[in-house]
Structure 1
Amino acid sequence: MGFADASTKGYAATIYMRSVNAAGDILVKFITCKTKVAPIKTAVADDSLSIPRLELCGALLLAQTLHHVHQVLSSEISITCLRAWTDSSIVLSWLTSDQKYFKIFITNRIAKIHQLVPACKWSHVSTAENPADPASRGLLPRAAMSSDIYWNGPEFLGRPEEQWPKSKFTPLSPDQLPETRPNVTSTLVANVSSSPLELFTRFSSLARMQRVLSFVFRFVRRSRRQPVCSGPPMFLEYETALSVVVRQIQKYYFSELINMLKKQSTISPPSLAQLAPYVDETGVLRVGGRLRFSFIHPDSKHPILLPRDSHLTTLLIRHYHLSFLHGGPKLILSMLNRRFWIMSGRAAVRREIFACVPCTRHKAVRPQPIMADLPPYRVRPHRPFSHVGMDYGGPFLVKEHKRRSAQSVKVYLALFVCMAVKAVHLEIVTELTTDAFLAALDRFVARRGIPTDIYSDCGTNYVGAARQLKLLFRNAKEQDRISSHLACTWHFNPPAAPHFGGIWEAGIKSAKVHLKHVIGQQILTHEEFVTLTTRVEGILNSRPITPASSDPHDLSALTPGHFLIGEPIHALPERDITDIKINRLNRWQLIRQCHQSYWKRWSREYLSSLQGRSKWYKSSPNLMVNDMVIVEAPSRPPTEWRLGRVTEVHPGADDVVRVVSVRTRDGIYKRPVVKLVRLPVEP
């Protein structure tokens, strides 16, 4: 049990414990007392620290002390209830009223009190029976020793609760309490204007809008005791409904034009004036034009004038587009012009047709990001074949031997291309398996050295090879055997993205052109085919990688062979100069100078040819997460392409999104954006 009180000097809280034994004996003991000095501001006439506020601070001090004592003693004894008293009627009224009526100072402390002692019952006590009153005024030690009420509490605590004095406290209303917030009364007048256009925008179909309005007009005629048809709406009712909608649309969008026509003033702007508009006998705004003496239908001679951005225009274009089996902009506009004249009609028709999901699915307009910058391994000098691109070509048919009974088998062409100088290495592979690829890789490494990085498409044989290499590296017994040629980093392009590896795709194309031109329809033996592919490799390594020079003294173009053997692979033999005596050091410097000159020419001539973008030089908007797309499947018609949603984007170093993760009903796949078609729907 606790008591709180305050004065201009300070505020205090005293705590007592009241216990009742089985015989009904009551024992009241003093537990603690806590006092605080009032702020110095109270010495000045300051309304912000008035007596009611100090009384509230005393109540908060009592709540804090009760909470602390309850936490300490509840683990030792059973406490059945908490009671608190104060002699301030204002504080009790604050505690029992809604906090929203009071200022922040009062609201914060009331909330804190309820938070600390939510189950505490607050009551009123007279000042004479409040043991916290002497403590709040400053009680000296000598006076405290002789104060019975301070040590034992008020006399009524020693009696049964039924004999306690009845409280005469009456809660005050918020209007009677101080520290209330100013009551601001605001009157909001809402001017609601009902426009008929709001009704029209609820429809997504022209036919449904006409049907609903036809039934509405039937109800109006029936309420006026006019004859009404039964059954489905007839054609004339559909036309009447459309005419009403047209007049409302024209009244909203062409109100100034109608006023000009009524006043017979000059029509503006010129785009409307050249149409010579007029209002017919039914109140519909039509195009006057210059075809009055033609024999065409009156609706085509004087079409109805419609704005570009109205909802009716959208419904009309959508209706004609579906009626004419998803026709193109020219067809739909020509059909519309037989009855309606839409301002900027071509743009309005194109806007709606491009938002048609079935048309988008069949046209399959794919986003095309801007061509990315060349990666570092393409534009920096490296040892030939230190960064290698991989691809497969074929199949090709070869014979086992030259006899007539020889069977034909399929072989494949494995291409290794240097990413820096475009040097090519060709190997024959008998099957598309991981073991066959590793064997071809062994032969390549034995002749060209160990590559540091290998780039390839996401083929299963390449992925299997990379997985098998990881398993081999974990085996300590195999590390010595494979560390000489398999210690390389693998890089895989996204699935279904062959354009990410254009350099090796071009190499495969060039090799197949030479092979098909030479082989034709005949079938070579394995030995003959190996010989031919080796010669094709030499030819590809003798191709100039820079444009032809116009200098008559420049007789040698830079080729990949210069970086392999110091000259083109198919260069003419030179005169023997081994008998010429040259200092060995000078000879070494000469060789190094020749090698460095090739790289200088490579930097000066070849890199400049890679500066421009031959295609994909226009940027397109990036795909975003939650965009709806359809995933291209070349083996299926567009109507069977899977619908998906973009779940993650993978931007490149230039923040252009070229690869995304798409969730379809079959799972999540990583695909290039050029294999996706964005649908014109809200995410």
Structure 2
Amino acid sequence: MAALVGSRLLRFVYDALKDKVNITDRTLWSDNQCVIHWITRRDKKLPVFVANRVKEIRNVPCTIKYCPTKDNPADLLTRGISTRELEKSNLWWQGPPWLKQGDWPICPVFDSSTYHVSTEEDVGTLSEDYNKPSDDRSKPSVNGIQLIIDVNRYSGLTKLLRVTALVLRFISNLKQKATRKTGLITADELNRAEIEWIKDVQRQEFADIAKKIRDNKKKTLLSRQLGLFTDKDGILRCGGRLHNAPLDFVTKFPILLPPAHRFTDLVILNAHARALHSGLQTTVTYIRRRFWIAKIRQTVKKLLRKCVTCRKTNGKNLIKYRYKPRFNRIA
């Protein structure tokens, strides 16, 4: 969408100045390598939404180049900057220094630093296997806490965490007989139970991604898109543009959860109940304060259709029937 707005602005400025100024070249800059790949490559089929906008961008004759993220003036506002720092920022008022010098950066991902966008119409279609995984490797076997507790037997997140906390307390008491824990479940035990479930689910669903991050190997596509990293507890979290925002750590870097897992369903149902059975958007917003779930709207919508409380509240009114006598009057 940003490249689309930039191409429209480029066309508007060119049409306004072409009779007054001798313009020999038009350049469109982007700090997103995926967008450059979509625009310049024609051998990859794209989703309909992306393809329609790529088509409009290609109708604007220009040269598209890669701008490093650190040299992108737009990121100063989107990632957060004070008014005093913005006033003294040379990057914002004058642009990157290499823009005037001509020593333009080269993107190592592509073969050349310059890509010409033609005006040919080339509309991609949605590939049937676009959202399918690239290989058929089976998921890792169930391990960890899931070997002891079957998450499919629970209908609420609170009960699951309390049972898990009791199991972890029992294991801890076996190891440390001198200092046994008794009494009511504490908040620390519930937090530990939640962390154990999150780590176990991530080990099952994102084992390859976590291993590559630990070994500092080449990152996967999902890892690059979401800026994944592991925190001090070994939990996969998503990076983003909110790291300078005055928010909590869990909100700036949400926890990654798979869409098709029973634990994720329990997290969604718990958030829906805490949001007082609000609608789709409110539930999604509440969840994203702590978690990042792929295809979250589809997953939440599917679960909200099965919510008994919402169906009772939002159900259709009963039709009032008029009383009809069982027998007709005899004339």
Evaluate the alpha carbon distance shift between residue 365 and residue 352 of structure 1 in structure 2; reply closer, same or farther with a 3 A threshold: farther
The aligned residue for residue 293 of structure 1 is 244
Distance in 2, matches of 1:268 and 1:365, equals 47
How far did 1:322 drift?
Answer: 1.7
**Pairing 1:276–2:227 present:** yes
In structure 2, give the amino acid aligned to 1:276: G
- Any residues of structure 2 matched to 1:103-502 within 5 Å, and which? 195=143, 196-197=145-146, 199=149, 200-225=151-176, 227-270=179-222, 272-364=223-315, 460=324, 464-465=327-328, 468=330
Evaluate the alpha carbon distance shift between residue 266 and residue 202 of structure 1 in structure 2; reply closer, same or farther with a 3 A threshold: same
Distance in 2, matches of 1:215 and 1:459, equals 58
How far did 1:293 drift?
Answer: 1.7
- Any residues of structure 2 matched to 1:55-74 within 5 Å, and which? none
How far did 1:284 drift?
Answer: 0.4
Q: Secondary structure at the match of 1:245?
A: helix
After superposition, the C-alpha distances for 1:333-352 in whole angstroms (9 at most, x for unaligned) are 11111111111112222221
- Any residues of structure 2 matched to 1:583-622 within 5 Å, and which? none
Say if 1:300 and 1:339, in contact at 8 Å, map to a contact too.
yes
Give the strand-richer structure, 1 or 2: 1
How far did 1:201 drift?
Answer: 2.4
TM-score by length of structure 1 reads 0.25
How far did 1:365 drift?
Answer: 5.3
Q: Secondary structure at the match of 1:201?
A: helix
How far did 1:194 drift?
Answer: 6.3
How far did 1:256 drift?
Answer: 2.0
TM-score by length of structure 2 reads 0.51
Evaluate the alpha carbon distance shift between residue 459 and residue 316 of structure 1 in structure 2; reply closer, same or farther with a 3 A threshold: same
In structure 2, give the amino acid aligned to 1:248: D
Evaluate the alpha carbon distance shift between residue 365 and residue 197 of structure 1 in structure 2; reply closer, same or farther with a 3 A threshold: farther
List runs of 5+ in structure 2 lacking aligned partners. Answer: 1-140
Flag the structure with more relative contact order, 1 or 2, with Cα contacts below 8 A and sequence separation at least 6.
Answer: 2
After superposition, the C-alpha distances for 1:53-83 in whole angstroms (9 at most, x for unaligned) are xxxxxxxxxxxxxxxxxxxxxxxxxxxxxxx
Count of residue pairs the alignment pairs up: 184
Percent sequence identity is 26
Distance in 1, matches of 2:214 and 2:194, equals 24
- Any residues of structure 2 matched to 1:87-98 within 5 Å, and which? none
Evaluate the alpha carbon distance shift between residue 355 and residue 295 of structure 1 in structure 2; reply closer, same or farther with a 3 A threshold: same
Evaluate the alpha carbon distance shift between residue 247 and residue 362 of structure 1 in structure 2; reply closer, same or farther with a 3 A threshold: same
Distance in 2, matches of 1:352 and 1:276, equals 28
Evaluate the alpha carbon distance shift between residue 305 and residue 365 of structure 1 in structure 2; reply closer, same or farther with a 3 A threshold: farther
Say if 2:173 and 2:181, in contact at 8 Å, map to a contact too.
no
Evaluate the alpha carbon distance shift between residue 460 and residue 201 of structure 1 in structure 2; reply closer, same or farther with a 3 A threshold: closer
Structure whose CA Rg is larger: 1
In structure 1, give the amino acid aligned to 2:190: Y
Evaluate the alpha carbon distance shift between residue 194 and residue 324 of structure 1 in structure 2; reply closer, same or farther with a 3 A threshold: closer
How far did 1:459 drift?
Answer: 6.2
Q: Secondary structure at the match of 1:327?
A: coil
How far did 1:227 drift?
Answer: 2.7
Distance in 2, matches of 1:255 and 1:322, equals 31
